Amino acid sequence: MKEVFSVSAIGSLELKNRFVRSATWEGMADEAGRPRPQYLETMIALARGGVGLIITGHAFVSPEGQATPWQLAIDRDDCREGLQEITAAVHAAGGKIVVQLAHAGFFAAAGITGRDRLVVSPQESQDPSPQKEIDKQGLQELLGAYAAAAGRARKAGFDGVQVHMAHGYLLSQFLSPAFNRRRDGYGGDIHNRSRIHREICGAIRDTVGKDYPLLIKLNAQDFIENGLTVPEAAAAARLMVDAGVDAVELSGGTIISGRLSPSRTKINAPEKEAYFREEARWLRENVQVPLLLVGGNRSYEVAAGLLAEGAADYISLSRPLIREADLIRRWEEGDRRPAACVSDNLCFAPAFEGRGIYCVTAERKAARSGKIVREEP
């Protein structure tokens, strides 16, 4: 049986407990993608708050791949200093941290990047910004971008990297028939649709070596018409583990999946928690590496139950740690009340305004009771 608060490992990465902060776009970088002081404070609070592993919000590996404003960058060597500040701060606070490597593809913010959107296959779009179908040279450039980003991550002191293959962004688009209609070796069956992912994992391994922790975040299913399905996701996961992946974080949904998006609302009862638990059971039978499960984890009992029954090896959380950075320490110290997060997704809005994510609901509640909880950065 897995002890919730005992030491375990993902490859060479030793972790003090089984709780992970799932990648969460912070919106706390500057215009050049370097962390602002608020970013560092947030990471320190998470590390002190007891979570075993922090995964940063998505960091773009190449300039046209930026998804959101004030997003962390890892696309150039001059990002190194800022990235090093993050790892140094987290390590000094006793934490471990992995950086999430990402490219938004079709969903890139062309208004910010000023570049064409890279697409797997041309898409109908309300957005008039130009699309560029990825050609042979583009595929090579992508491999180079991910490998170089992983190399920067290692040099900057990250404890590993996670490649973002979920939620409808570029590598999720390759996996999904809704986005991928290619006729070359990168389209067609799931073996072909997961080819670029395996090549990226190989290129990363060539750069950082075989012992550097390499995680992926993968959709169990897309919940869109013609999207990735569970059996295909399981097949893709198996292929990627064969390509050298150390752990799979299971998620689901895309940014266009409506109420079945990755961050579902109204998680207000234990049976609504861990909303990919069934898919996790499926995946479990297919992959032998550690499985991280994200999506609606809110109570200690449900989390501990999933670990005990072997449905997952690690429990990942995003929104609950925005509201309570110290949730895991609270649980460890014996206060086992569920996370206070009400899953209303109001945390996104301030980040789009340049103020970084925070729990708007907690702030409103505190304001009603006359407390000032936060000063503008």
Question: What is d(CA 112, CA 93) in angstroms, rounded to the nearest whole number?
Answer: 34
* Tokens representing residue 296 in the block: 């609606």
Closest CB to ligand FMN among 119 and 163?
163
Check: CB of residue 355 under 8 Å from CB of residue 377: yes
Place of tokens 């209303």: 344
- How many Cβ atoms from other residues are within 10 Å of residue 269's Cβ? 9
Residues across the chain: 377
Q: Tell me the HSE value of 273 on the side-chain side, using a 13 A CA sphere.
A: 22
Angle at 130 between CA 125 and CA 136, to 5 degrees: 105
Closest of 187, 176, 178 to residue 134, by C-alpha: 187
Question: What is d(CA 243, CA 343) in angstroms, rounded to the nearest whole number?
Answer: 35
DSSP 144-202: HHHHHHHHHHHHTT-S-EEEEE-BTSHHHHHH-TTT----STTSSSHHHHTHHHHHHHH
Find the shortest distance in angstroms from Cβ 345 to ligand FMN.
6
> Which residues of the shown chain bind ligand FMN in the complex (CB under 6 A)?
22-25, 57-58, 100, 164, 166-167, 217, 251, 262-263, 294-297, 317-320, 347-348, 357
* Bridge partner residues of 293 (DSSP): 250, 315
Assess whether 39 carries a catalytic annotation. no
Closest CB to ligand FMN among 11 and 262?
262
Closest CB to ligand FMN among 282 and 348?
348
Closest CB to ligand FMN among 23 and 234?
23
Check: CB of residue 251 under 8 Å from CB of residue 333: no
Closest CB to ligand FMN among 66 and 207?
66
Find the shortest distance in angstroms from Cβ 128 to ligand FMN.
26
Closest CB to ligand FMN among 8 and 345?
345
Amino acid at 366: A
Radius of gyration, CA atoms only, the chain: 19
Return the DSSP state at 129. S
Closest of 224, 194, 216, 207 to residue 101, by C-alpha: 216
Strands 13-15 and 8-10, bridge-based pairing = antiparallel
Closest CB to ligand FMN among 25 and 212?
25
Reported as type and span, the H/E element at residue 41 is helix 37-48
Please tell me which residue in 39, 146, 169, 212 is annotated as part of the active site: 169
Catalytic residue positions? 169
